[in-house]
Structure 1
């Protein structure tokens, strides 16, 4: 007879996890009730039942805190924030659901859930049960034994983790799980306000455990310690013992394990349905029915060993599983790994010249990992001057070096720091390191060694969230940093330069940034590993950071005179369109005013019977509305042309000359790695990626970008149909793969197949329609959308799409598989493992769900194309440096790279670029790159 299994759920740990996992997209029903916490917990419960089919199960709740701990330490958990209102409201609902399901609730006033679970787990062990403590809280590791395991929700879609004795030994570097108590006591816990031993962190605690075994062993041998650590440990011995007691889970509470009470039994289905209907949990209602009617077999039923369970995957399609969530919210209330900074407990010091500086530098160069942060006079790194640099390599500690205003003196000071910045053995940590690298480049300082950028790390962990330091600090460290506006004021003529801020305030502000960033790094490093994105981070995004910094510093030459003449031509074009529109309308009006335009088009001219209106009751003149009507009404096409030209003139033709750097005489765009969730780069100040290329006037803007001088020429290298090649390869669609391998015109090849004609007889219109479908399929084009983009009727468009899928059946299967994968896992990924999380993939709203389904298909394709060109950029940049070429990479625009080529190097460069781009990633389909040369970007393209 197999060993019986008991599952004990830590209610509040799972409730908080569910609530915070959905914090950016809360589940709110039609009554306005936030049901995130309830939904999250119920999904956790269902996940356990569905996977494990446990013999026995119970749920433990905290009630009124820990009376025993508060008696010996009144400040216990004093730092805790007020419980969110949504969670307070959720608990009664959750308990009613459990009662309806006949699942026992373990609760005792003045006793915490971990003590209840610890007590019952030990009792059940004596009665021959295997007990699984379902919680994300690492503190439970102290209870693990031969028959007691932690059943931990794993992060980032990686199923579950089972911690037995070997896992605890490895995680905490202990011989016995009981030593976790000593580890927690030594290190303390800021969230629970357990003080610990001052100055003892994770590494030191593990070192002490290895040397002395226990807290008592450490305190008995303090004579072996040295310096300040010896003083601190001896002075705080009682505090250490108190902390150990606070960290110890009580295993003799007044609660008794009764096997009959905890046996999983038949639920009161009608009562559960009634509660779910009130909460509007339609999908969970279906899940409940499937699970308890026996339709959903447990994924690990019959394999009760920890090793077998560790490999189990996420729950079935349609289920939002907290064991596969994208947010690390599990330890929001109780985990010792979550750090909290306090304003009073830190050591930030300003370093003065002389002996203090020498001592600081000596200490600095002995470190392995250092966070640094430059403070400057402005936001443009190519113009801004250094005001100071902050350093931190230990939480809540850091140093600040203020810089003199005199440039010669500043250069002399930075030279003292050169050994640090150029030390290969020291890993440099920062938030948006590209900015710091560009600032330091002005001082002829190259930042060498391994880099860790917290902004980039978080982008890979949670691409859809904001990545600025304040948000990250508040989200992951429960701390709101000092705002820069508190020091220098808000924008305007009265805003100060950071140099005008007193040095003591500079120190507090700057070192706080470095300290926070260092702590964020400690938080994100394991997250990257768990998301399986370490390689993407270290091999793609971090090397690319350096490439982009060089490209941005280089900039590109601009022909101002040409833009001036183009501006005059656009003025004439715009005036001609104005006249044409006024004549058609029969009066003059403000074409740029949506309100006036709507009245003219839909009231006076009555161009449509039932015009679309905005929420404010005005006629909608949005781009999509007018584009749909343009082919039937000449005035609307003229309005769209007018809008296009006025935007082109203001955004590019008149704006670009003002963005030329006065020192370099060039335009320096800023590439952003953390904006597009797909992995694509975006460009800003100026945005060179959105210059229109479908209109003649738009294309002419590219003519203004020219080589540095007559010794150079521009070269544009463009991946040919890379997204189609990727989807052909990923879908393993042989017909399409073969066409690419044979070098066929893919659009003509597709047209020949879908229209059933020889490729030599494909008409221009047929090829055009096939091209529209080829590219549209990736974005989920509908018959309605296709008919709008072509001359086909909606019926003809539907027939063409149906024929297309019959022609390429594996493509259709691949798209379905991607959507299924997204439903199951909550994300899709590129060829390099870049994840796109799709929180709405199981939305009850068909429109919202449809958008997520289209992203499930598109994101891996678009993201893989982005990954591939990033690899090419890194490799080309490396080869250009190694070969000491004068040629420079200047721009990246989607699938295109632009180079300033030194003419004597041209033939070598052409070969280098084509080879590196085409070999950047091996697909079943060959990558093909077109090269173009010219005296300006337009001619080269």
Structure 2
């Protein structure tokens, strides 16, 4: 069989992949879009080309031998985005996992390596295929060497052989060098002959053949101006030809036989795909099947009658709801697995059986479930109060694997080394094709789910105990999931008419702003079209161009904010966008999710999502209602009590993360400020600027506030400079002075990173973990991100744990005191209740009491509260 060599221009393909895909990062915060695009193309090449030999060539550095000829070579290039540069080491790791040879050599470019190797291979009568996005490589085309050039992104490819090259340009491969010499190359800062583009270069070469022949026959060149340009730039043209010529004698310390490729092993490739979060690619290579025990057949009984001996304790219970949104949804079926056997219970039988309902509501009958909140809410809508849940597989998996993005039963069981259950997607289908299967398939699927829960319970509990996380699981997250289930079922009442009226007002305001924009721009156009907006701002109004994209001018928010002082139309456009988003996302969006039968919004709280332990919410996301604009704050007026003569009561922690930092860091100055009830931002301003309390200006306090909260989130000098509008140097000095003023904080930041490098994770006060595999990475960017995460996760995570504790304890207290008050929402550090007016005095006493005592810190927790007829008035 004839040898086939595939050569890949690593830098070119990575660059193309980076700009072809949106900026992506995995759950560890590592950017992956270039890696994903590169790897996808790599797999396609392996599958389609079946190479016997492979090599990926990279540029070794910024300077090459060509700089000796022309110091400005590649001088006009913009600096590679850090988001791309930090992905090159990861791409190299992917190639190593694939066992594909990679190579770079000082003073030479990837093109030179490819040119040298392709020449050697073609002399030995091998077939060679080169993949790149650089037209310079077309000079290597021959009968044996074909060049695959990306046209758009990384999927649209033209493959050049001599015939196609001639058809496309009317040139031979050698003439590609001459074409580039004449027209130059802006991307490499190759001058060529100014004023000569591709069209003129092709015309000259078709007439004369080479650059040298053009100059030998200069009198025959038509056009006085062109002749003058050529004459004046002879030296540039000849130098350009030298620069664009690929060097085919590169001194390589490898031989062509070293490039042999016999394929990849699935195991190491799967490992890196899992680390990067490439789920689709993992499935594509069959990587999920490794070291997993498959259980093909599982016997079970489909019950026609429910008897007492079926309902023993403990039982693994599945309450199946196919829809993602389980509120008021149909239940597809039930399954039980216990010491008596494996049972499928059809929905009709289950819902009509008094003994089964009694079992579900019996708190003494222990149930082990998958996603307790989902089951509680689904049954709650049917009037059944599910009790007795002592184990939730989702919560256990989340605590043990917080960086995993998937906690479905199939993924959890495979992570634990055996396969008993297929994914829901495999059984029900996806998107428009999603449907309920035949009962035999459905019953088998549900019983397998219960069986998986039954088998995995002890294993995961043991892991939690080994991690010292069982108390976190049992005393916080398990009770919390039931509290959240109750909150979701209760929902929060909404004044529909108020929202509709606000929408009408916003539409009128948007029309007024639109007219103002047209007047200021002296043109009518689609404001929501980036293309049309860009043409008006940068072509018509001649505003300075801040950033360009592949499709034209960038009109993103950050670009417009930089232009805000340049023209009075810009603030109007920014306001138009803000109000437009408010209207579409929050006014119209909220109206769509009000349940007609309750008149309420029933948001879903995500308990097993964020790595810090923070709760989030969906359908709708009530944590993201923008409150910077008054119009945004007014949306909260739509949230009202569900009964007459009731009020909304809101309580939130004051500066909880800074108080947690004071406790964890054991910083005397920070702790003293909180213990004395001082304004922490004024105190920071005094320490950092070396002034007395009365001399702290509003600007000083604003800067101090930014660094106080910035430290919690691992802010950099660049980040601080952007947030408060000072130079990077000033921001760096400001952070240094802060750390000098609070030495305990500085010591904590150093110590927590050192400990994380030893342990591979950081923990909150309640032992919630966040794993940081990149903390010891050789890659600076990955390591820096992990170090910042190590500093801020214990603070943010502990703050999240505290408000969760407060929710569990508040729920208990409300029930113990037989209060009618209901806890409705949790938003960041705030709890929102609805309560009868007569219970307000009690709430003013017990809510701060419970929330401030949720956990014992060395500094006091402080809770502020407000109440009123709407959520807005409770702020």
Given the two structures, how large is their TM-score scaled by the length of structure 2?
Answer: 0.65
Instruction: Tell me what 1:16 maps to.
Output: none
Take 1:837 and 1:591, find their aligned partners in 2: how far apart are those partners? 45
**Cα deviation, residue 815, structure 1:** 1.4
Q: Does the 8 Å CA contact 1:723/1:861 hold for their aligned counterparts?
A: yes
Inter-CA distance 936–631: structure 2 relative to 1 (3 Å threshold): farther
Take 2:322 and 2:719, find their aligned partners in 1: how far apart are those partners? 50
Instruction: Tell me what 2:409 maps to.
Output: 469
Residue 393 (str. 1) matches residue 363 (str. 2): no
Unaligned runs of 5+ in 1: 1-20, 35-84, 94-273, 280-321, 328-336
SS in 1 for 2:497: helix
Take 2:670 and 2:97, find their aligned partners in 1: how far apart are those partners? 56
Once the two structures are superposed, what CA deviation does each residue of 1:288-344 show, in whole Å capped at 9, x if it has no partner? xxxxxxxxxxxxxxxxxxxxxxxxxxxxxxxxxx9xx999xxxxxxxxx9862422x
Once the two structures are superposed, what CA deviation does each residue of 1:41-74 show, in whole Å capped at 9, x if it has no partner? xxxxxxxxxxxxxxxxxxxxxxxxxxxxxxxxxx
Once the two structures are superposed, what CA deviation does each residue of 1:586-617 show, in whole Å capped at 9, x if it has no partner? 433332233333444445545445x3344x45
Which one is further off, 688-697 or 513-522?
513-522
Instruction: Tell me what 2:512 maps to.
Output: 576
**Cα deviation, residue 527, structure 1:** 2.2
Q: Does the 8 Å CA contact 1:326/1:462 hold for their aligned counterparts?
A: no
Unaligned runs of 5+ in 2: 1-26, 42-93, 103-253, 260-271, 278-289
Which one is further off, 635-644 or 866-875?
635-644
Among candidates 342, 350, 362, match of residue 295 of structure 2: 342
Alignment of 1:692-707 (within 5 A): 692-707=626-641
Instruction: Tell me what 2:374 maps to.
Output: 435
Take 2:805 and 2:455, find their aligned partners in 1: how far apart are those partners? 30
Instruction: Tell me what 1:371 maps to.
Output: 316
Among candidates 527, 530, 552, match of residue 488 of structure 2: 552
Once the two structures are superposed, what CA deviation does each residue of 1:188-223 show, in whole Å capped at 9, x if it has no partner? xxxxxxxxxxxxxxxxxxxxxxxxxxxxxxxxxxxx
Instruction: Tell me what 2:805 maps to.
Output: 871
Q: Does the 8 Å CA contact 1:349/1:507 hold for their aligned counterparts?
A: no
**Cα deviation, residue 721, structure 1:** 0.6
Instruction: Tell me what 1:362 maps to.
Output: 309
Alignment of 1:130-529 (within 5 A): 340-343=293-296, 345-353=297-305, 357-358=306-307, 361-365=308-312, 367-368=313-314, 370-376=315-321, 378-393=323-338, 398-404=342-348, 411-413=351-353, 415-465=354-404, 466-479=406-419, 481-482=421-422, 484=424, 490-492=430-432, 496=435, 498=436, 501-529=437-465
After TM superposition, where is structure 1 displaced by more than 6 Å over at least 4 residues in a row? 24-34, 85-93
Take 1:364 and 1:30, find their aligned partners in 2: how far apart are those partners? 52
Among candidates 722, 741, 745, match of residue 811 of structure 1: 745
Q: Does the 8 Å CA contact 2:420/2:448 hold for their aligned counterparts?
A: no
**Cα deviation, residue 796, structure 1:** 3.6
Take 1:476 and 1:903, find their aligned partners in 2: how far apart are those partners? 52
Once the two structures are superposed, what CA deviation does each residue of 1:795-853 show, in whole Å capped at 9, x if it has no partner? 44333222222211221221122222222222111111111112322333333332222
Take 2:520 and 2:547, find their aligned partners in 1: how far apart are those partners? 21
Instruction: Tell me what 1:155 maps to.
Output: none
Q: CA RMSD in A?
A: 3.7
Inter-CA distance 89–936: structure 2 relative to 1 (3 Å threshold): closer
**Cα deviation, residue 764, structure 1:** 2.0
Take 1:583 and 1:31, find their aligned partners in 2: how far apart are those partners? 47
**Cα deviation, residue 92, structure 1:** 13
Take 1:834 and 1:680, find their aligned partners in 2: how far apart are those partners? 11
Q: Does the 8 Å CA contact 1:390/1:510 hold for their aligned counterparts?
A: yes
SS in 2 for 1:940: coil
Instruction: Tell me what 2:673 maps to.
Output: 739
- Paired residues in the alignment total 618
* Higher relative contact order, chain-length normalized (CA < 8 Å, sep 6+): 1
SS in 2 for 1:557: strand
Q: Does the 8 Å CA contact 1:733/1:811 hold for their aligned counterparts?
A: yes
**Cα deviation, residue 480, structure 1:** 7.6
Alignment of 1:114-125 (within 5 A): none
Take 1:536 and 1:629, find their aligned partners in 2: how far apart are those partners? 49
Among candidates 504, 516, 535, match of residue 471 of structure 2: 535
**Cα deviation, residue 670, structure 1:** 0.6
Instruction: Tell me what 1:642 maps to.
Output: 576
Alignment of 1:83-102 (within 5 A): none
Instruction: Tell me what 1:612 maps to.
Output: 547
Once the two structures are superposed, what CA deviation does each residue of 1:68-103 show, in whole Å capped at 9, x if it has no partner? xxxxxxxxxxxxxxxxx999977999xxxxxxxxxx
Inter-CA distance 467–666: structure 2 relative to 1 (3 Å threshold): same
Once the two structures are superposed, what CA deviation does each residue of 1:778-806 show, in whole Å capped at 9, x if it has no partner? 22333333333225444443332222222
Take 1:326 and 1:485, find their aligned partners in 2: how far apart are those partners? 22
Take 2:101 and 2:533, find their aligned partners in 1: how far apart are those partners? 55
Q: Does the 8 Å CA contact 1:628/1:788 hold for their aligned counterparts?
A: no
SS in 1 for 2:873: helix
**Cα deviation, residue 572, structure 1:** 2.4
Take 2:685 and 2:591, find their aligned partners in 1: how far apart are those partners? 45
Instruction: Tell me what 1:563 maps to.
Output: 499
Instruction: Tell me what 2:706 maps to.
Output: 772
Instruction: Tell me what 2:816 maps to.
Output: 882
Take 2:559 and 2:413, find their aligned partners in 1: how far apart are those partners? 42
Inter-CA distance 741–792: structure 2 relative to 1 (3 Å threshold): same
Inter-CA distance 785–378: structure 2 relative to 1 (3 Å threshold): closer
Inter-CA distance 838–582: structure 2 relative to 1 (3 Å threshold): farther
SS in 1 for 2:295: coil
Take 1:685 and 1:394, find their aligned partners in 2: how far apart are those partners? 39
**Cα deviation, residue 381, structure 1:** 3.4
Take 1:895 and 1:613, find their aligned partners in 2: how far apart are those partners? 39
Take 2:375 and 2:487, find their aligned partners in 1: how far apart are those partners? 15
Inter-CA distance 638–469: structure 2 relative to 1 (3 Å threshold): farther
Q: Does the 8 Å CA contact 2:543/2:566 hold for their aligned counterparts?
A: no
Which one is further off, 890-899 or 657-666?
657-666
Inter-CA distance 625–924: structure 2 relative to 1 (3 Å threshold): farther
Take 2:808 and 2:36, find their aligned partners in 1: how far apart are those partners? 48
Q: Does the 8 Å CA contact 2:295/2:420 hold for their aligned counterparts?
A: no
Inter-CA distance 883–859: structure 2 relative to 1 (3 Å threshold): same
Take 2:420 and 2:688, find their aligned partners in 1: how far apart are those partners? 59
SS in 1 for 2:403: coil
Instruction: Tell me what 2:85 maps to.
Output: none
**Cα deviation, residue 900, structure 1:** 0.3
Inter-CA distance 603–473: structure 2 relative to 1 (3 Å threshold): farther
**Cα deviation, residue 734, structure 1:** 0.9
Take 2:529 and 2:368, find their aligned partners in 1: how far apart are those partners? 49
Take 1:462 and 1:797, find their aligned partners in 2: how far apart are those partners? 36
Inter-CA distance 658–776: structure 2 relative to 1 (3 Å threshold): same
Q: Does the 8 Å CA contact 1:840/1:848 hold for their aligned counterparts?
A: yes
